[in-house]
Amino acid sequence: MEQPFTSVWTREPRPAKSPGLGRDQIVRTAMALLDAEGVDALSMRRLGARLGSGATSIYWHVASKDELLELVMDEVFGEVSLPDPGAAGWRGTALAVAYGLRNALFAHPWAASLIGTRPAIGPNAVRLAARMLDAFERAGFREAQLDYASAALLSFVLGATAPEVAWQTALRRSEATEEEVLRATREMVAQVARDHPGLVARHKAYDAKDIGAERALSFDFGLSCLLDGLEARLAAPDGAPRQTGTSSPAGQARSDMM
């Protein structure tokens, strides 16, 4: 669309000395609307109505809806509270970021569907990344590994949380009881996986348990596994302590795209 690859963050915001509409008020109202009614309910006209102004007035302060979404996205990143990297230690900071981000995404489910969509380079996202890099550097990570390690953590958190949130909101939107959902899901799995007998048995085992708690445990498990793996790299700085890992398997090209 735009040729020199611009983003909200490069362009100056409107002077903002104004008495009426302002960029931050727009963003706040948009977040409220998103939180209250979900991502589908956010239209410029509805937002304008909530602001008590015309729909197209918004375009004076914000270039496009996409840009507005970038702004609210960064607001979500701003909501994770960061500990002092010196006091919390490496693992503490990592855990805080992980759970903070996870909780922020649960608090704003619409953000989960946007997170893979556009690059997160707003000031709050950058500050979060900087904090994490700081903590990881204190821990002893150097050079490229520093970036790799923090990227890995963020990747896991996002990849684990986004589908969870998707599930949760999908359930919430259909007003079925959790009972019904469980039954329907089991039927689905049974129907679709009848030639994978292990699956249906295992899925049956879930019936008794609380799904939310189970998912939290799963998150904990994956997170501490990843952190353990990272910690192991601190001992052997430039190699994979358990070998393999850097050789691509069975005819799969690694970095064939781009």
Q: What residues from 61 to 80 belong to the interface with a second copy (CB under 8 A)?
A: none
Q: Do 247 and 152 meet the contact criterion of CB atoms below 8 Å apart?
A: no
Within 65-104, the residues that bind DNA by CB under 7 A are: 65-66
**Which tokens go with 251?**
């005819």
Of 29, 38, 50, 53, which one interacts with DNA (CB under 7 A)?
53
* Separation of alpha carbons 226 and 232, rounded Å: 10
Indicate which single residue of 21, 33, 44, 230 sits in contact with a second copy (rule: CB under 8 A). 230
Taking contact as CB under 7 A, which single stretch among the options 30-38, 57-65, 81-89, 196-204 is the one that binds DNA?
57-65
Q: How big is the site for DNA, counted in residues (CB under 7 A)?
A: 24
Which residues neighbour 257 within 8 Å (Cβ) at sequence distance 6 or greater? none
Residue 130 binds a second copy, judged by CB under 8 A: yes
Residue 248 exposed, middle or buried by CB count within 10 Å (0-12, 13-18, 19+)? exposed
Of residues 8, 31, 34, 61, which one binds DNA by CB under 7 A?
61
The binder of 42, among DNA, a second copy, none, by C-beta within 5 to 8 A per type, is: DNA
60 lies in the binding site for DNA (CB under 7 A): yes
Q: Which is nearer to DNA, 61 or 102 (CB)?
A: 61
Distance CA 147, CA 159 (A): 18
Residue 186: closest CA among 208, 164, 219: 208
Token output for 14: 């409107």
Closer by beta carbon to DNA, 22 or else 140? 22
Residues 112 and 39: beta-carbon distance below 8 Å: no
For position 146 contacting a second copy by CB under 8 A, the verdict is: yes
Q: Interacting stretch for a second copy, rule CB under 8 A, among 24-32, 42-50, 52-60, 107-115? A: 107-115
113 interacts with DNA by CB under 7 A:
no
Residues in contact with 21: Cβ distance below 8 Å, sequence separation at least 6, in sequence order: 51, 53, 57, 58, 60, 61
Q: Which does 163 bind (CB under 5 to 8 A by kind): DNA, a second copy, none?
A: a second copy
Of 63-71, 99-107, 192-200, 204-212, which part binds DNA (CB under 7 A)?
A: 63-71
Distance CA 199, CA 197 (A): 5
Positions that interact with DNA (CB under 7 A): 14-18, 20-21, 42-46, 48, 53-57, 59-61, 64-66
